[in-house]
Structures are given as C-alpha cells and as structure tokens.
C-alpha cells in the first residue's frame, strides 16, 4: 500500500480549548502565568474556529480554522501584556499541528509581518490561511507581504 503524500487530517477537526490556549500563553511567556484580561474574549477566540451556520462550518478547513483563531487572539487581545500577537501565530500553528499538519520552524520575519498586518486590520481569514499554509509547506511567500511600518 502506497503511503499518502500528505499528512492524514482527522475527519473531525480538533480545536484548542481555553485551558490549552492559556497553557500555550504561559509556555510562550517563559515566566509566571500570564493573566487573562478578558475571559469572554478568550472563550470567543477558542470557539470561533468551530462556528457553523445551519450545520455548515464557516471556516472550511484546518487552515481557515487556524487563521480564525489567530485573528481572534491578535485582535481581541484576551491576555494582559504584549503577548497576544505572538500567541496568535503560535496558537494557529499549534492548532494545525493538533490536526496533523506539521511545520518546521516558521520564518520569524514573515510571521511577525503577518501578525503585524492582522493587528493593523487584515481580517480576510482566507488570506491569513493562505499564508499559514505556505508556512507549513516551507514555501517562500508567493506574494510578498507589504511592510508593517
């Protein structure tokens, strides 16, 4: 039997929970636990990737779901302090990993630029998902991101 060229994606996506996102924040902070500024915003961010309308998922695949999580964390800033932007990208990559989509070390410059654009108003989840897909594939960015400055 030939091996599949792509990782096997679970039939049902597995979403990060509020405690798991909080644990990722603590790990990323590398010090004492990070305080939650707005637990409602954190809950909403954790739930956003799984939203559906009449039984149809709003975010069609794992990349869009991870992009929705990233966007929610970056824009609602549920944790105190400056951690939210980095956590948004980190949580998105962790969500992809949880669903069998592995990535090696992402290019930090492009990750920071993508997060910066989301902070400045990039809200197209499909576009964010495309960039996350390129990160996980280890591809160079097909369209250069504009500078965030």
- Annotated domain spans of the chain: 18-137
Question: Does residue 38 or residue 33 have the better pLDDT?
Answer: 38
Q: For the residues 118-127, what does the mean pLDDT come to?
A: 95
Cα atoms found within 13 Å of the Cα of residue 75, Cβ hemisphere only:
18
**pTM (2 d.p.):** 0.84
Statement: residue 7 has pLDDT above 80: no
Q: Does domain 18-137 have CATH number 1.10.10.10?
A: no
1 confidence band (pLDDT: 50, 70, 90): very low
Q: Which residue in the block uniquely carries the two structure tokens 């049902």?
A: 12
Structure tokens at 47: 């739930």
Query: Could you tell me which residues come within 8 angstroms of residue 68 by beta carbon, excluding any fewer than 6 positions away?
Result: 48, 49, 51, 58, 59, 125
Backbone φ and ψ of 53, nearest 5° = -125, 120
């Amino acid at each position: 039997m030939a091996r599949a060229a792509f990782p096997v994606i679970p039939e049902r996506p597995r979403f990060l929970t509020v405690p798991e996102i909080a644990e990722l924040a603590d790990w990323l902070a590398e010090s004492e636990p990070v305080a939650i500024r707005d637990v409602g915003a954190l809950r909403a961010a954790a739930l956003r990737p799984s939203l559906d309308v009449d039984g149809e998922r709003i975010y069609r695949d794992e990349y869009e779901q991870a992009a929705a999580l990233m966007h929610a964390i970056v824009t609602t800033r549920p944790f105190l302090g400056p951690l939210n932007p980095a956590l948004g990208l980190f949580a998105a990559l962790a969500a992809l990993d949880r669903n069998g989509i592995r990535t090696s070390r992402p290019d930090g410059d492009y990750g920071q630029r993508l997060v910066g654009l989301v902070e400045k108003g990039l809200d197209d989840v499909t576009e964010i998902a495309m960039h996350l897909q390129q990160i996980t594939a280890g591809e160079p960015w097909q369209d250069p991101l504009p500078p965030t400055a």
